């Protein structure tokens, strides 16, 4: 389940980036090194999304349910970001369209979210924001006007510290140590606003 968060490297992390979780353990760090720029990494994420949708005998459908009840703003993800009450659950079967709604809900700049700018062009679902059909509360009524984007600037398009010698050494580690599962649970408030 994706959580609406800012991200110092990708600017925003949502439904498309959440699919990165299908990769086991330290293979994620390896992929960051193979696609070290923001555009390359967004391209990889969209390749992964396209493969999951169309890489089987019959194309697959996914339901993406984003927890945007409390999101993260500022220098996310991690302890440098700040919790932000948003009060939404966003549901859709198109990860790019869902991310577009989420980015607009909190007022982030779409041009900084490369999974959106390239995602519409690839056409795995809707091909433009004009094709998105929403139900439930209106986006205008729910918009968050004081959401803080990340200030982080990736210098030269390279992820740091994922290209450092320490991380590279970790990536050559024991594959058995990579087999871990983490669970987290959240108690939801009594009143939720839904965007479809």
Number of H helices, E strands in the chain: 7, 5
**What pLDDT does residue 33 have?**
82
> What three-state secondary structure class fits 122?
helix
Note whether 148 and 82 are within 8 A (CB). yes
> Residue 85's beta-bridge partner residues?
70
Q: What is the pLDDT along the chain (196 residues), one digit of tens a residue?
A: 999 999 888 899 999 999 999 988 888 888 878 888 889 999 999 999 999 999 888 888 899 999 999 999 998 888 889 999 999 999 999 999 999 999 999 999 999 999 999 999 999 889 999 999 999 988 899 999 999 999 865 544 444 444 444 444 444 544 444 333 333 333 344 444 545 4
Q: What is the dihedral of CA 147, 3, 94, 125, to 10 degrees?
A: 60
| Residue 184, token pair as written in the block | 């987290």
pLDDT at 152: 63
pLDDT at position 195, please? 53
Question: pTM of the predicted model, to two decimals?
Answer: 0.77
| pLDDT the model gives residue 177 | 42
Q: CA triplet 195, 38, 30: central angle to 5 degrees? A: 105
Residues in the chain: 196
Between CA 7 and CA 106 the distance in angstroms is: 14
The CA distance from 159 to 35, in Å, is 9
Distance between CA 181 and CA 169 in Å, rounded? 22
């Amino acid at each position: 389940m994706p959580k609406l968060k800012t991200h110092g490297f990708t600017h925003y992390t949502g439904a498309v980036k959440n699919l990165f979780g299908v990769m086991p353990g330290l293979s994620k760090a390896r992929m960051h090194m193979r696609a070290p720029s923001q555009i390359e990494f967004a391209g990889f994420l969209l390749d992964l999304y396209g493969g999951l949708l169309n890489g089987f005998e019959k194309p697959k459908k996914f339901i993406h349910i984003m927890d945007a009840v409390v999101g993260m703003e500022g220098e996310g993800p991690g302890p440098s970001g700040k919790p932000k009450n948003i009060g939404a659950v966003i549901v859709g079967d198109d990860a790019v369209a869902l991310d577009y709604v989420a980015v607009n809900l909190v007022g982030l700049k779409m041009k900084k979210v490369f999974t959106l700018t390239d995602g519409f062009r690839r056409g795995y679902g809707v091909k433009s924001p004009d094709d998105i059909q929403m139900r439930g509360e209106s986006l205008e009524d729910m918009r968050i006007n004081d959401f803080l984007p990340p200030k982080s600037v990736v210098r030269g398009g390279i992820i740091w510290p994922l290209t450092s010698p320490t991380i590279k050494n970790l990536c050559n580690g024991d594959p058995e140590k990579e087999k871990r599962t983490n669970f987290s649970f959240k108690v939801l408030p009594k009143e939720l606003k839904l965007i479809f």
